[in-house]
Amino acid sequence: MPVVVGENIGKIAGGKRILSHIGFEVNEGEIFGILGPNASGKTTLLRIVGTMLLPDEGSCEVFGMDVVKRERAVRRLIGYVSPDLNYHDRFTPNEITNFYRRVAGVDVEKVREVLKKCGVIDIWNKWWAYLSYGERVILTLAIALGRHPKLLILDEPTANLDVANRIVFSNLLLDEKVVSLVATHDMGFARKTIKRCIVLDEGKIALSGEVNSLIKKLKFKTAIEVAFDAAQTDKTLNSLCSSYRRRPDSYDVTFYEEGDDDKIALVRKLVGLPHLKGVMMNEPSVEDLIFWVKSHNNEKGKDD
């Protein structure tokens, strides 16, 4: 039996549709991803699964229990990690953990075990105000794991983390082997940690399947991010590469090339341009994947 089953989930808030016809399943032993850019509906979907929001349409079950009808029973099985959690500056991890021991039955030794595994046990008696952002995130995850949850729900767990802490976080999730539902727009983290996913765009499922398979199917490997200090015309950009995306709120542009020869040729063209500030090659982001799908769908529509 799947751990989580969402069927035709819909949510409307303030007269605006946030989620439309969302369906997915999370299986035993799996780290499942909900990928998407900011404001795509990821957090809303997590909150519905975690019983913090009611769906306006459809249904969701966790371990066979409806999240609306059996809200309390579902909550007892969940560990929830949110970037919004915060504590008084003069609370220590020791005090925070013991508070949750009293109110939620958190296993203090499990929390300490996780902190040791991550190499941050020395924060145990430090004030919250003196903890780095990465240490705070790891402590929050440790407390969630201290509940010995059957399902772990994580909302953008690697947002604002440096590379070292992202690796620590990813390795910890893989080692713990807890069924997890993770919302993220961090493609590097997703490729390392998540196998199957859905990709949301404006509250709808744009893609679904295995993360690495989706990238391979889209047939592009490199996003070439170019910073300009002045606007470039479409004619200029098209002369450089037929596939590109303007970055919002800036003059920057992302080009997409697959073949090595094409990448080299593009960089050579860019070097000769005025107003060029910098060039960087990256793996595609979630936003890049969605752009690629939309552009290919538009091309298919023209052909049809």
Q: Which domain holds residue 96?
A: 4-216
Please indicate, yes or no, whether residues 95 and 51 belong to a single structural domain of this protein: yes
Please indicate, yes or no, whether residues 197 and 71 belong to a single structural domain of this protein: yes
Please indicate, yes or no, whether residues 234 and 202 belong to a single structural domain of this protein: no
The domain total for the chain is: 2
Please indicate, yes or no, whether residues 181 and 32 belong to a single structural domain of this protein: yes
Kindly state whether residue 289 falls inside one of the protein's structural domains.
Answer: no
From first to last of its 304 residues, the chain has per-residue pLDDT tens of: 799 999 999 999 988 999 999 999 999 999 999 998 888 999 999 999 999 999 999 999 999 999 999 999 999 999 999 877 788 899 999 999 999 999 999 999 999 999 999 999 999 999 999 999 889 999 999 999 999 999 999 999 888 788 788 888 899 999 999 999 999 988 888 988 999 999 999 999 999 999 888 877 776 667 888 999 999 999 999 999 888 889 888 899 998 887 778 888 888 889 888 889 888 877 778 888 888 777 766 655 555 5
pTM listed for this prediction: 0.83
Boundary residue ending a domain (199, 216, 233): 216
Boundary residue ending a domain (170, 201, 216): 216
Kindly state whether residue 300 falls inside one of the protein's structural domains.
Answer: no
Kindly state whether residue 304 falls inside one of the protein's structural domains.
Answer: no
**Domain CATH code at residue 253:** 3.30.70
Please indicate, yes or no, whether residues 151 and 275 belong to a single structural domain of this protein: no
Please indicate, yes or no, whether residues 95 and 167 belong to a single structural domain of this protein: yes
Kindly state whether residue 251 falls inside one of the protein's structural domains.
Answer: yes
Please indicate, yes or no, whether residues 73 and 27 belong to a single structural domain of this protein: yes
Please indicate, yes or no, whether residues 189 and 248 belong to a single structural domain of this protein: no
**Domain CATH code at residue 199:** 3.40.50.300
Kindly state whether residue 288 falls inside one of the protein's structural domains.
Answer: no
Please indicate, yes or no, whether residues 200 and 249 belong to a single structural domain of this protein: no
Round to whole Å and give the CA distance between 137 and 161. 9
Q: Is the distance from CB of 185 to CB of 160 less than 8 angstroms?
A: no
